[in-house]
């Protein structure tokens, strides 16, 4: 056999193996992405259930979405889902993002309130005349106890309203055919 034919065969085999490796890598990437999206949906729905059970949205709200994996991986599923399926996933994850942003806003307001309370405490303490005297120290402790015992923290209604509106829009994705398709892509059979 001539070296040119052997070179051609080897080149063909190397190219064929490279295509095979590429295809298997893409398939594994799609399966891993589907698994991550399924896990995100299940987590988000658990958080939603806890919100609905408590009927309260406050600063202790769990994080519904740590990262927008749907936004990162949805291109991998373009050929697998219909327009309606994509719309359902987009609506669900858009609502999750909205809830995440509202949660973040509630946390910002809460910590801004704590900072304001600390500032007021400092101002009152610095206004004490003769703070180094026993009477000044008593007055300081009274101010600290008074501010620490006050539990009121301003909580604006807007972020809470955004959460409840998003809950109404998102629906339950795990009961859909699209979710079953996603589970199948992830290799999840149960």
This prediction's pTM: 0.77
Q: What is the mean pLDDT of residues 121-139?
A: 89
Give the start-to-end residue ranges of the domains of the chain: 3-186
Instruction: Give the model confidence (pLDDT) of 50-104 as tens digits.
Output: 988 888 888 888 899 999 999 999 999 989 899 999 999 999 999 999 999 999 9
pLDDT of residue 61: 87
Q: What is the mean pLDDT of residues 140-160?
A: 86
Instruction: Give the model confidence (pLDDT) of 10-38 as tens digits.
Output: 677 767 666 766 666 666 689 999 999 99
pLDDT of residue 4: 78
Higher pLDDT, 24 or 42: 42
pLDDT of residue 130: 87
Q: What is the mean pLDDT of residues 36-45?
A: 95
Higher pLDDT, 106 or 189: 106
pLDDT at residue 39 tops 90: yes
What is the residue-wise DSSP string for the chain?
Answer: --HHHHHHHHHHHHHHHHHHHHHHHHHHHHHHHHHHHHHHHHHHHHHHHHHHHHT--STTPPPS-SS-HHHHHGGGGTTTS-HHHHHHHHHHHHHHHHHHHHHHHHHHHHHHHHHHHHHHHHHHHHT-TTTTSHHHHHHHHHHHHHHHH-------HHHHHHHHHHHHHH--GGGSHHHHHHHHHHT---
For the chain, what percent of residues have pLDDT higher than 90? 42
Question: 18 — phi, psi (to 5°)?
Answer: -60, -40
pLDDT at residue 179 tops 90: yes
For the chain, what percent of residues have pLDDT higher than 70? 92
């Amino acid at each position: 056999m001539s070296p040119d034919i052997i070179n051609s065969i080897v080149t063909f085999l190397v190219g064929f193996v490279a295509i095979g490796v590429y295809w298997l890598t893409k398939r594994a990437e799609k399966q891993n992405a589907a698994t991550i999206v399924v896990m995100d949906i299940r987590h988000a729905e658990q958080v939603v259930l806890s919100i609905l059970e408590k009927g309260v949205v406050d600063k202790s709200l769990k994080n519904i979405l740590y990262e927008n994996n749907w936004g990162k991986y949805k291109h991998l599923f373009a050929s697998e889902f219909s327009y309606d399926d994509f719309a359902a996933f987009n609506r669900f994850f858009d609502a999750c993002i909205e809830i995440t942003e509202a949660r973040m806003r509630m946390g910002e307001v809460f910590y801004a309130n704590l900072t304001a309370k600390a500032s007021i405490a400092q101002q009152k303490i610095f206004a004490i005349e003769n703070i180094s005297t026993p009477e000044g120290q008593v007055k300081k402790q009274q101010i600290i106890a008074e501010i620490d015992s006050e539990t009121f923290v301003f909580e604006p209604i807007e972020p809470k309203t955004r959460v409840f509106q998003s809950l109404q829009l998102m629906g339950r994705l795990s009961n859909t055919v699209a979710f079953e398709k996603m589970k199948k892509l992830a290799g999840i059979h149960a």
